[in-house]
Amino acid sequence: MARTTEHAHGDAASPSAVLSAADVTRVVDRMAHQLIEKCAGDDGRADVVLVGIPTRGAPLARRLAARVEAFSGFPVDVGTVDITLYRDDLRMRGVRALEETVLPEGGIDGRLVVLVDDVLYSGRSVRAALDALRDLGRPRAVQLAVLVDRGHRELPIRADYVGKNLPTSRSQSVRVRLAEVDGEDAVLVTGGEQ
Amino acid sequence: MSTLITGARPYGEDAADILVEDGRIAAIGASLSVPGADVVDAAGLVALPGLVDLHTHLREPGREDAETVETGSRAAALGGYTAVHAMANTDPVADTAGVVEQVWRLGQEAGLVDVVPVGAVTVGLRGERLAELGAMADSAARVRVFSDDGHCVADPALMRRALEYVKALDGVVAQHAEEPRLTVGAQMHEGDRSARLGLTGWPAAAEEAIIARDVLLADHVGARLHVCHVSTAGSVEILRWAKSRGVQVTAEVTPHHLLLTDECAEGYDPVFKVNPPLRTDADVEALRAGLAEGVIDAVATDHAPHAVEDKETEWAHARPGMLGLEQALSVVVATMLETGRLDWRGVADRMSTRPAAIGRLDGRGLEAHGRPLAPGEPANLLLLDPGARAVVDPAALASRSRNSPYAGRELPGRVVATFLRGVPTVLDGKAQK
Amino acid sequence: MKRHLLEAADLDRADATLVLDTAAQIDAALAGREVKKLPTLRGRTVVNLFYEDSTRTRISFELAAKRLSADVINFSAKGSSVSKGESLKDTALTLEAMGSDAIVVRHSASGAPHRLANWVRGSVVNAGDGTHEHPTQALLDAYTIRHRLGRLEGVRVAVVGDVLHSRVARSNVRLLHTLGAEVTLVAPPTLLPVGVGSWPAEVSYDLDAVLPKADVVMMLRVQAERMNASYFPSAREYSRRYGLDAHRMGALGDDAIVMHPGPMNRGMEIAAEVADSVRSTIVEQVGNGVSVRMAVLYLLLGGRAGE
Ligand SMILES: [Zn+2]
């Protein structure tokens, strides 16, 4: 059993940045505004639980929560849900260390849950996250926020909040880098033709 | 009928032609020429006296699925042997004149080597009372070596009587030295590896204690004792001490104990399970030194064929023993000759001359074995290509069984031809029957 | 990690830590849940091949596999072709033909899982072989120690009892050493293997000298029948010299814990009041066994990159 990292696809071509650090900040801010617009009640409070999908969805959810609080004035609940044990492609991917699943005190029953991930691609991670959520409680509704949507869905899943739509070919690899994990913010595309 | 072997190197020395006539060596010399003789080109090959094994399990009667007298004889001939002692632990046990004569006759019918039956010391190998040793000695098989091999004659009083009794028969008791109370459930050499592998240990002391006891007994009653498959450094020391005191003791070592160690047990492949077990590097070193020095007299194969189902199983459930006849000489070349511990005469001494003397096969008649390569002697000899190296393939062995511990191992030396009383039993590396 | 888990030495420190961390995450993921089931190994087949009766270990593995949604086949020696003399190899080939992804094997012969691993393509997990090893027991013991004491590095573990015949001891010595703990074996010399000096452990014949310094005391099962082979003179003398009773427990440090792999001989190696005390982790060990075995099955069966 080899441990692989999700984003290492071994393409030697040099990556090109499609979002800079400043772009990432701007995009997250816009997503926060959209979220408030769509979810906030009359008092301006967005009564949601932002649940990040590790690895990079988790810090992204925390950032998004911080911006929502900054813009709306109300704190937002944050959590993470590890989907490793819910994946249906373990055979192909190789196993990885599990990450934490953490939910806010009151759980997610009856709440509006917004799943947060870095890249939306086949949709399988989101499907796994939905399965995991079902084992954790019964939300009122579930929405999806992603920093990048690169297309090529294999399941009937779409995002409610998209930071950037990024048309790609399957041969390309999209890498989101976040300061909390990678030491810097950027979105890179490697391989294929741009 | 005459055969002219040309260009062979007797004992690895200067090339000479060897003329064989009427089962005997007629002449050895340069450029012999005999009209009408069959010519065997032996240029570059080493000629040695036919090998004599003191310790072979041929499994017939009883386990013909593992080996027969015929298949074992073929394996022996291919290994350069012209005589093998067939151990008594068959089913029925070779503890009567009837059984030893049957084995002897089967050997004669196969006609590839002289099969010399070993008689059991005790009835049924049970270690309770003496078998009819005299009847076996007087039979057509003319048994001189008696052994309960596979079992130790553990009762000291019984061992004393056996040693004494065979003096009248010019016989020898070949002891499988294993104190049974110290080896209950034993699976491998007791040491660091057995501790880690969780296999019950077979302590060196269980062998050494019996050898020490038996050399004292042999000394006391003035009898001959032969020690089977010596496996430990301590045993070599005891034998050295006994010989220095003039005790009539001889000893053998197996090829596998000269080459392999208990490291082979890692992985739990029972092809490496054997009794006595493979020991340590230090033991291997002491055994090689003891053989070179002559404290150990002979190399004996303890060729022990086992059917697949007895080996392809859990270690503890597998039967002990490994094949040896076809690779014995190669192993001795690798461990003793190529290391400079023995020359070719030394190899011939430990694998032919001395074992034949221990078994009392070294008489004057045409049926004798272990005689030197010299005019007038029986033409029992082998031709070896010392430069050939080959990887052992169990599927290619003549034995009916496949439990070779040397599988996949490259070993030096290839037996090209074997002659039994002038008749080729092996030519071009192929058995002639 | 390697394809099989045959002995503790198959795990380096990173692998062993990964197993423990994974077990901890699985524990956390399932804590408080009504339905303790994950879809992870859906469509995979795990065979429990038990040549020795061990209901506890078999149930633990069965539960672990079922909680990961694997299909479980119990193939026990009784009432199957195994008892009719079918060889281990034939059984292995049969299971292989049935498409098993993992075989969990318990066997009375040391090394049987090693043999099995030569004959099948799936993973082999050793659930105890003869007097050799029982690696998942060592993993759950390490997990329990880490859970109770918060660490393994530098933890002083006394393993007490029949080391000679104990597969639990062999696996624990190796694994705890790998994880940085310091092991002392305590037993009468007759119950220590010749060659124990080559193990990464200290050896003592004196339990009372070891107890005050121990963070963990792991008591091994001692079969009273051993006295018939003179490993010790009597059960009474054994328990007086090497048994853990309330008085001896008093010599332990405040945070020290008492472990036992079970099944216990109360009154022989361990007194009832010790087994039932707050220091005892014996019940906890059983629960942790399931999580650790889930982690092992997940890590072995989860897949290999590029396969
Ligand atoms: Zn023997």
Chain C CB within 8 Å of residue A138 CB: no
Tell me the pLDDT tens digit for each residue of C190-201: 999 999 999 999
Tell me the pLDDT tens digit for each residue of B310-361: 999 999 999 999 999 999 999 999 999 999 999 999 999 999 999 999 999 9
Residue B364 burial class via C-beta count within 10 angstroms: exposed 0-12, middle 13-18, buried 19 and up: exposed
Q: Place A36 in a pLDDT band, splitting at 50, 70 and 90.
A: very high
Nearest CA in chain A to C18: A97
What predicted TM-score, i.e. pTM, was given to this entire model? Answer: 0.90
Half-sphere exposure of B153 (CA within 13 A, CB side): 30
Strands B38-41 and B51-56 turn out to be: unpaired
- How far apart are alpha carbons B348 and B354 in whole angstroms? 9
Tell me, what's the ipTM? 0.93
Chain C nearest CA to A22, separation (Å)? 35
Chain C CB within 8 Å of residue B355 CB: no
Query: Residue A127: its chain C contacts at CB < 8 A?
Result: none
Domains identified in chain C and CATH numbers: 8-133+286-304 (3.40.50.1370), 135-281 (3.40.50.1370)
Q: Place C262 in a pLDDT band, splitting at 50, 70 and 90.
A: confident
The answer to whether residue B173 scores a pLDDT higher than 50 is yes
Terminal C-alpha separation, chain B: 19
- How far apart are alpha carbons A82 and A80 in whole angstroms? 7
- How far apart are alpha carbons C238 and C253 in whole angstroms? 24
- What does the pLDDT read at residue B103? 97
From the list A29, A24, A7, A36, the residue with the least C-alpha distance to A114 is: A36
Q: Place C7 in a pLDDT band, splitting at 50, 70 and 90.
A: very high
The answer to whether residue B198 scores a pLDDT higher than 80 is yes
Query: In three state form, how does the secondary structure of chain A look?
Result: CCCCCCCCCCCCCCCEEEECHHHHHHHHHHHHHHHHHHHECCCCCECEEEEECCCCHHHHHHHHHHHHHHHHCCCCEEEECCCHHHCCCHHHHCCCCCCCCECCCCCCCCCEEEEEEEEECCCHHHHHHHHHHHHHCCCCEEEEEEEEECCCCCCCCCCCEEEEECCCCCCCEEEEECHHHHCCCEEEEECCCC
- How far apart are alpha carbons B248 and A177 in whole angstroms? 85
Cα-to-centroid distance, B228 and ligand 1 (Å) = 6
Query: Residue C302: its chain A contacts at CB < 8 A?
Result: 1, 90-91, 94-95
The answer to whether the CB atoms of B268 and C195 lie below 8 A apart is no
Chain C CB within 8 Å of residue B308 CB: no
Q: Is C281 annotated as a binding residue?
A: no
Chain C partners (3+ C-beta pairs within 8 A): A, B
Q: What is the mean pLDDT of residues B207-233?
A: 98
Interface test with A, best of C33, C40, C124, C296 (most A CBs within 10 A): C40
Nearest CA in chain A to C39: A86
Q: By the 8 A CB rule, do B158 and B122 touch?
A: yes
Q: Which amino acid is at B163?
A: L
Nearest CA in chain C to B188: C110
Chain C CB within 8 Å of residue B313 CB: yes
> Quick one: which H or E segment has residue C294?
helix C282-301
Chain C CB within 8 Å of residue A22 CB: no
The answer to whether residue A13 scores a pLDDT higher than 80 is no
Chains A and C touch (3+ CB pairs under 8 A): yes
- What does the pLDDT read at residue C59? 94
- How far apart are alpha carbons C61 and C294 in whole angstroms? 8
Q: Which residues of C touch B (CB under 8 A)?
A: 87-89, 107-112, 114-115, 129-133, 167, 170, 193-199
Report CA Rg, chain A.
Answer: 16
| Domain B2-46+376-388+410-431 fold | Urease, subunit C; domain 1 (2.30.40)
- What does the pLDDT read at residue A144? 97
- What does the pLDDT read at residue C288? 94
The answer to whether residue C1 scores a pLDDT higher than 90 is no
Q: What is the mean pLDDT of residues A61-81?
A: 95
Chain A partners (3+ C-beta pairs within 8 A): C
Average pLDDT, chain B: 97
Residues 2..41 of C with a Cβ closer than 8 Å to A: which? 2-3, 18, 21-22, 25-26, 28-29, 33, 35, 37-41
Average pLDDT, chain C: 92
Q: What is the mean pLDDT of residues B178-192?
A: 97
Q: By the 8 A CB rule, do B55 and B18 touch?
A: no
Query: Residue B309: its chain C contacts at CB < 8 A?
Result: 87
The residues that bridge with B2 in the sheet, in sequence order, are: B21
With vertex at residue A74, the alpha carbon angle to CA A73 and CA A75, rounded to the nearest 5 degrees, is: 125
Number of other residues whose CB lies within 10 A of the CB of residue B178: 23
Q: Where are the domains of chain B?
A: 2-46+376-388+410-431, 50-358
Q: By the 8 A CB rule, do B381 and B373 touch?
A: yes
Terminal C-alpha separation, chain A: 34
The answer to whether residue A75 scores a pLDDT higher than 50 is yes
Tell me the pLDDT tens digit for each residue of B14-55: 999 999 999 999 999 998 888 889 999 999 999 999 999 999
Distant-in-sequence, close-in-space partners of C75: CB < 8 Å, separation ≥ 6: C47, C48, C49, C50, C82, C91, C95
Q: What is the mean pLDDT of residues C3-27?
A: 95
Which residue in B201, B312, B314 is closest to C111 by CB distance?
B314
- What does the pLDDT read at residue A135? 87
Q: Place C258 in a pLDDT band, splitting at 50, 70 and 90.
A: very high
Q: What is the mean pLDDT of residues A124-132?
A: 94
- How far apart are alpha carbons B380 and B184 in whole angstroms? 43
Terminal C-alpha separation, chain C: 15
Sign of the alpha-carbon dihedral angle for C178, C184, C186, C190:
positive
Long-range contacts of B14-22 (CB under 8 A, 24+ apart): B15/B43, B18/B42, B18/B47, B18/B373, B18/B381, B20/B379, B20/B419, B20/B422, B21/B422, B22/B422
Helix (H, G, I), strand (E, B), or coil: what is residue B319?
coil
Q: What is the mean pLDDT of residues B367-384?
A: 97
- What does the pLDDT read at residue C82? 58
Indicate if B428 belongs to the active site: no
Q: By the 8 A CB rule, do A80 and A101 touch?
A: yes
Chain B nearest CA to C27, separation (Å)? 32
The structure tokens listed for B172 are 């020898």
- From the list B283, B302, B310, B349, the catalytic residue is B302
- How far apart are alpha carbons C291 and C19 in whole angstroms? 10
Chain A CB within 8 Å of residue C242 CB: no
Tell me the pLDDT tens digit for each residue of B288-322: 999 999 999 999 999 999 999 999 999 999 999 99
Report CA Rg, chain B.
Answer: 20
Q: Place C54 in a pLDDT band, splitting at 50, 70 and 90.
A: confident
- Mean pLDDT check: name the lowest of A66-80, B60-74, C75-89: C75-89
Query: Residue A88: its chain C contacts at CB < 8 A?
Result: 39, 42
Number of other residues whose CB lies within 10 A of the CB of residue B41: 13
Domains identified in chain A and CATH numbers: 22-170 (3.40.50.2020)
- How far apart are alpha carbons C261 and C145 in whole angstroms? 13
The answer to whether the CB atoms of C132 and B192 lie below 8 A apart is no
- How far apart are alpha carbons A74 and A65 in whole angstroms? 10
- What does the pLDDT read at residue C78? 64
- What does the pLDDT read at residue C83? 55
The answer to whether residue C272 scores a pLDDT higher than 80 is yes
Chain C CB within 8 Å of residue B248 CB: no
| φ and ψ of C82, to 5 deg | -55, -45
Distant-in-sequence, close-in-space partners of B164: CB < 8 Å, separation ≥ 6: B221, B223
The answer to whether residue A112 scores a pLDDT higher than 90 is yes
Give the position of tokens 């004599």. Answer: B52
Chain B nearest CA to C129, separation (Å)? 9
Distant-in-sequence, close-in-space partners of C14: CB < 8 Å, separation ≥ 6: none
Q: At what angle do helices B156-165 and B204-221 cross, to 10 degrees?
A: 50
The answer to whether residue A6 scores a pLDDT higher than 80 is no
Residue C135 burial class via C-beta count within 10 angstroms: exposed 0-12, middle 13-18, buried 19 and up: buried
- How far apart are alpha carbons C187 and C14 in whole angstroms? 31
* Edge-to-edge strands, sheet with C71-76: C71-76, C45-50, C102-107, C123-129
Length of chain B measured in residues: 433
- Mean pLDDT check: name the lowest of B143-152, B355-364, C27-36, C136-145: C27-36
- What does the pLDDT read at residue A191? 82
The answer to whether the CB atoms of C302 and A90 lie below 8 A apart is yes
Nearest CA in chain C to B185: C109
Chain C CB within 8 Å of residue A179 CB: no
Cα-to-centroid distance, B183 and ligand 1 (Å) = 14
The structure tokens listed for C15 are 């692998």
CATH code linked to domain B50-358: 3.20.20.140
Average pLDDT, chain A: 88
Which residue in A88, A95, A100 is closest to C25 by CB distance?
A100
- How far apart are alpha carbons C224 and B302 in whole angstroms? 40
* Edge-to-edge strands, sheet with A16-19: A16-19, A186-190, A173-177
